[in-house]
C-alpha cells in the first residue's frame, strides 16, 4: 500500500531548504511514496498578520490520516506554531522526523551543528592563531543557533580562551543581522577582533559589507566565517569560509528513515549526515581569485536568470490584474500556467470567500485554522482527472483525480506542494501543484502566489462593487413602500422591452390599474389603512403577471402599471380577471376596514405600427382605465 507523508516546510527561496526538498522528492519517486509538502514563507521578521496566515497552512492537514511526518521548519517562529502539532504527533504515535532541528521527543536527521562549528572555530584558533573572537548568532532559542553557540564557547574554553559575553550577540539568520551586529560591536570598540564567527553565511555577508564600507579588508584586518556554504558566500570576494551540509543526502536519508520507522525499524534518536569545513579566502587559507572568472560567468548567468524570472512574474501580474471577473481570471491563469509549463495547478478557496450575499455560504465562519469545513474548487488545471464536484472536504485536501497520471503502478506517486493564499490578514484558501524544483526553489512561486492573492482580492472587490451598484440601482428603480418598481424603471426596463418586442414582431401589454376611492379611505379610516390597501393591491397585481417578461410599477400614489409581452386581448382579460378575483378573495378576509377595489384598463400594441413611444401607450392605457372608473360609484364600501 502506497504511503502518504506530510512535510512541513518553510522558505523555499532558501537554498538549503530547496535542496533538502529535492532530496525528499528523489527518494519519494524511488519508493513510490505520496508526499504532501505544506510550505509557507513565514519569516523570522515581518508583519505578524502575514506570518499568522502563512502558518495557518500547518493546521490544514489532519495528521492522523497520514502515515508519517517530516518537519523541515528552519526557523523558530514556525517551530513554535508547530508545537501543538508535535503534541498531536506524539499522542497519536505517528512516526515523525525533525530535519535539522533536534527536538527531544522526535527522531532527528541533520547536520551535527555542534561538531561542525567546533571544527570551524578550532581551525581559526589552531591554524590562524586567533585569540579574540566575536560570535553573531541567530534567534536565541533556535535549536541550530544554540548548538553552534555552545560549540563556539566550548572551543574557546578548551583552548584556554575565556568567552566574553559582550562579544556574543544573537539576532536572526539574515544579512541585516550582520549589519546590526557590526554597529553593536562598534559601540563597544570591539568590531575588529581576530575573527568574527557568524551563525550563517547571510549574516557574514552583512558584516563583511560593513567592514568594506568602513575601510577594512578581509582577511587582512580580521577573519570572518559563516555556515551553510551558500552560493552567495562562495561567490563573494573573498569567498566566505563556511560549513557545507549534505542537503540532497539529508532529504533522501530523512524520508528513507521515516519509511523505516513506519515499517517498525528502530533507529537512534539522532542520525547525522556529512558536513565539510569549506575553507576560503575570508580566513586567509586560500583565495577564490583564480576561480573568479568562472564565478563571474556563473553570477552573470544567475543575474540573467533572475531578470528573466522577474519579467515572467511581471507579465503574470499584468495579465492577471487586468481581469474584471472570475471567468477572465481563469482564462488568463490557464494561459500563464501553460507558458510556465505548469501542468497541474489548483486553487481551493474557503466556501464563503466568493459566495453571493443571498447564498447560505455567505455567513459561514472559518475554523480556527482559517479554513472552512469544505473548500470550493475555484480553478483546476490538471493532466489527471478533473473533479466531478465543485467542493472538496477539507480533510481530503486534494480534489479527486488531481495530478499527473502514470501507467506504471510502481511509479505512480505524487509529490504535491500546498501553499497558503491570503491577503491583508484574511485567509482565502490554498493552492496545490505538483512539486517541481525548477519552478519553486528560486522563490518565484512565492511571487506568483502573491500576485494570485491580489488578483483574487481584486475580483472579489469588483464583485462587491457590482453587488453594491445592483443594490443602488434597485433602490433607484424600486418603490420603497411596496417593493415593486417605480417610474424610473420605465427607462431601464420598459423602453428596452418595448423596443425588443417591436423588433421581434411581438405585442406588448400596458395594463393600468387605479385604486378606487383612496382619498376617502384615508379620510375615513386613516392613512395606515390607505397604506395597507396600496401594499395589498401592488402585491395582487405583481402576483398576477402573465410571464417572466411582465413587470409591475407603482406609477403614482394609487396608480399601477403592468407591462409585458402579450399576444392577445384574451391573455390581457385573463390577467384582469385574475387581479379582480384576487381582490375579491382578499375582501373576504376582512383584513381591511373597507372594501378594496380598483379600476383596470389596458391596451396592446400593434407591432406592425411601431411609430409611438412608451408614453403614448401608457396614456392610452390610462384613458382606458378612466373610462372604466367613471362607470364606478365614488363610494368607499365598509367591510361587514
Give the pLDDT of residue 32: 94
Least confident of 8-12, 72-76, 308-312, 385-389: 72-76
Q: Is the pLDDT of residue 412 over 80?
A: yes
Residues of the chain with CATH 3.40.50.2300: 111-247+265-295
pLDDT of residue 472: 84
Bigger pLDDT: 404 or 546? 546
Residue corresponding to grid cell 376611492: 517
pLDDT at 411: 76
Residue 275, pLDDT > 90, answer yes
Tens digit of pLDDT for each residue in 492-551?
A: 899 999 999 999 999 999 999 999 988 888 989 999 999 999 999 999 999 999 889 999
Buried residues in 572-589 as b, exposed as e (16+ CB within 10 A): beebbebbbebbeebbee
User: In the chain, what is the greatest distance between 2 CA atoms, to the nearest angstrom?
Assistant: 121
DSSP 239: P
Question: Which of 169-183, 188-202, 305-319, 368-382 has the weakest average pLDDT?
Answer: 305-319
Q: What is the pLDDT of residue 633?
A: 55
d(CA 623, CA 456): 55
pLDDT at residue number 46: 63
**The residue to which cell 555556515 is assigned:** 227
Q: What pLDDT is recorded for position 303?
A: 73
In the chain, CATH 3.30.70.270 sits at 489-630
472-476, 515-519, 590-594: least confidently modelled range: 472-476
262: nearest Cα among 64, 109, 95, 108: 95
Q: Give percent above pLDDT 90 in the chain.
A: 63
pLDDT of 261 reads 96
Is residue 57 within 8 Å of 419, Cβ to Cβ?
Answer: yes
What pLDDT score does 292 carry? 64
Is 111-247+265-295 CATH 3.40.50.620?
no
| Alpha-carbon distance values, 475 to 142, 479, 481 (Å) | 59, 8, 11
Does 364 or 34 have the greater pLDDT score? Answer: 34
The pLDDT of residue 350 is 92
358-372 pLDDT tens trace: 778 878 888 888 899
- At residue 14, the pLDDT reads 64
Domain 489-630 has CATH 3.50.50.60: no
Distances (CA, A) of 50 to 45, 53, 352, 424, 427: 10, 5, 21, 7, 10
Determine the average pLDDT of the residues in 177-184.
97
- Which has the higher per-residue pLDDT, 79 or 211? 211
Predicted pLDDT of residue 357: 74
* Pairing mode of beta strands 107-111, 68-72: unpaired
Q: pLDDT of 85-104, one tens digit each?
A: 898 899 999 999 999 888 88
Helix-strand-coil split of the chain, %, nearest 5: 45, 20, 35
In this structure, the chain runs to a length of 640
pLDDT at 355: 80
- According to the model, what pLDDT value does residue 158 have? 97
pLDDT, tens only, 371-397: 999 999 999 998 877 777 789 999 999
- Percentage of the chain with pLDDT > 70? 94
Amino acid at each position: 500500500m502506497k504511503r502518504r507523508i506530510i512535510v512541513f516546510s518553510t522558505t523555499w527561496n532558501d537554498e538549503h531548504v530547496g535542496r533538502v526538498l529535492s532530496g525528499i522528492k528523489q527518494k519519494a519517486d524511488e519508493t513510490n511514496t505520496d508526499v504532501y509538502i505544506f510550505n509557507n514563507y513565514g519569516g523570522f521578521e515581518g508583519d505578524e498578520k502575514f506570518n499568522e496566515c502563512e502558518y495557518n497552512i500547518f493546521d490544514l492537514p489532519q495528521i492522523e490520516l497520514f502515515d508519517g511526518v517530516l518537519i523541515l521548519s528552519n526557523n523558530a517562529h514556525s517551530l513554535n506554531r508547530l508545537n501543538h502539532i508535535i503534541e498531536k504527533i506524539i499522542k497519536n504515535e505517528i512516526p515523525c522526523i525533525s530535519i535539522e532541528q533536534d527536538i527531544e521527543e522526535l527522531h532527528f536527521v541533520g547536520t551535527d551543528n555542534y561538531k561542525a562549528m567546533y571544527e570551524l572555530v578550532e581551525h581559526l584558533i589552531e591554524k590562524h592563531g586567533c585569540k579574540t573572537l566575536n560570535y553573531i548568532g541567530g534567534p536565541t532559542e533556535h535549536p541550530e543557533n544554540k548548538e553552534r553557540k555552545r560549540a563556539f564557547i566550548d572551543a574557546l574554553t578548551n583552548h584556554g580562551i575565556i568567552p566574553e559575553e559582550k562579544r556574543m550577540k544573537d539576532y536572526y539568520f539574515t544579512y541585516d543581522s550582520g549589519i546590526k551586529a557590526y554597529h553593536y560591536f562598534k559601540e563597544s570598540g570591539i568590531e575588529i577582533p581576530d575573527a568574527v564567527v557568524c551563525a550563517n553565511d547571510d549574516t557574514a555577508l552583512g558584516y563583511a559589507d560593513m567592514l568594506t564600507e568602513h575601510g577594512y579588508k578581509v582577511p587582512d584586518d580580521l577573519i570572518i566565517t559563516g555556515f551553510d556554504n551558500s552560493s552567495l558566500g562562495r561567490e563573494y570576494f573573498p569567498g566566505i569560509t563556511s560549513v557545507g551540509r549534505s542537503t540532497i543526502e539529508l532529504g533522501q536519508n530523512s524520508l528513507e528513515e521515516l519509511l523505516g520507522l513506519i515499517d517498525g525499524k528502530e533507529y537512534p534518536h539522532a542520525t547525522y549526515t556529512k558536513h565539510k569545513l569549506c575553507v576560503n579566502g575570508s580566513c586567509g587559507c586560500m583565495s577564490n581569485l583564480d576561480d573568479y572568472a568562472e564565478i563571474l560567468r556563473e553570477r552573470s548567468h544567475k543575474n540573467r536568470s533572475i531578470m528573466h524570472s522577474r519579467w515572467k512574474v511581471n507579465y503574470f501580474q499584468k495579465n492577471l490584474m487586468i481581469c474584471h471577473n472570475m471567468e477572465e481570471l481563469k482564462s488568463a491563469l490557464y494561459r500563464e500556467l501553460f507558458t510556465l509549463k505548469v501542468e497541474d495547478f489548483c486553487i481551493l478557496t474557503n466556501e464563503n470567500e466568493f459566495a453571493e450575499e443571498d447564498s447560505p455560504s455567505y455567513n459561514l465562519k472559518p475554523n480556527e485554522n482559517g479554513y472552512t469545513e469544505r473548500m470550493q474548487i475555484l480553478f483546476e488545471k490538471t493532466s489527471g482527472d478533473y473533479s466531478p464536484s465543485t467542493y472538496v472536504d477539507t480533510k481530503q485536501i486534494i480534489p479527486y483525480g488531481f495530478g499527473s497520471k502514470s501507467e506504471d503502478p510502481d511509479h505512480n506517486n505524487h509529490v504535491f506542494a500546498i501553499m497558503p493564499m491570503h491577503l491583508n490578514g484574511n485567509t482565502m484558501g490554498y493552492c496545490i501543484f505538483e512539486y517541481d524544483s525548477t519552478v519553486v526553489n528560486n522563490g518565484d512561486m512565492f511571487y506568483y502566489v502573491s500576485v494570485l492573492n491580489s488578483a483574487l482580492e481584486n475580483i472579489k472587490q469588483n464583485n462587491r462593487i457590482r453587488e453594491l451598484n445592483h443594490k443602488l440601482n434597485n433602490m433607484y428603480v424600486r418603490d420603497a413602500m411596496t417593493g415593486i418598481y417605480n417610474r424610473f424603471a420605465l427607462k431601464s426596463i420598459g423602453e428596452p422591452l418595448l423596443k425588443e418586442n417591436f423588433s421581434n414582431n411581438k405585442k406588448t401589454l400596458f395594463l393600468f390599474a387605479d385604486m378606487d376611492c383612496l382619498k376617502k379611505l384615508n379620510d375615513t379610516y386613516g392613512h395606515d389603512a390607505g397604506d395597507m390597501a396600496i401594499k395589498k393591491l401592488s402585491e395582487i397585481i405583481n402576483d398576477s403577471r402573465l410571464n417572466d417578461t411582465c413587470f409591475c410599477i407603482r406609477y403614482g400614489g394609487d396608480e399601477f402599471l403592468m407591462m409585458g409581452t402579450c399576444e392577445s386581448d384574451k391573455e390581457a382579460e385573463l390577467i384582469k380577471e385574475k387581479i379582480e378575483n384576487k381582490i375579491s378573495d382578499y375582501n373576504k378576509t376582512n383584513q381591511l376596514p373597507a372594501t378594496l377595489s380598483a379600476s383596470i384598463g389596458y391596451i396592446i400594441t400593434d407591432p406592425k405600427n411601431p411609430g409611438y413611444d412608451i408614453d403614448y401607450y401608457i396614456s392610452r392605457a390610462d384613458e382606458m382605465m378612466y373610462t372604466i372608473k367613471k362607470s364606478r360609484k365614488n363610494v368607499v364600501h365598509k367591510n361587514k
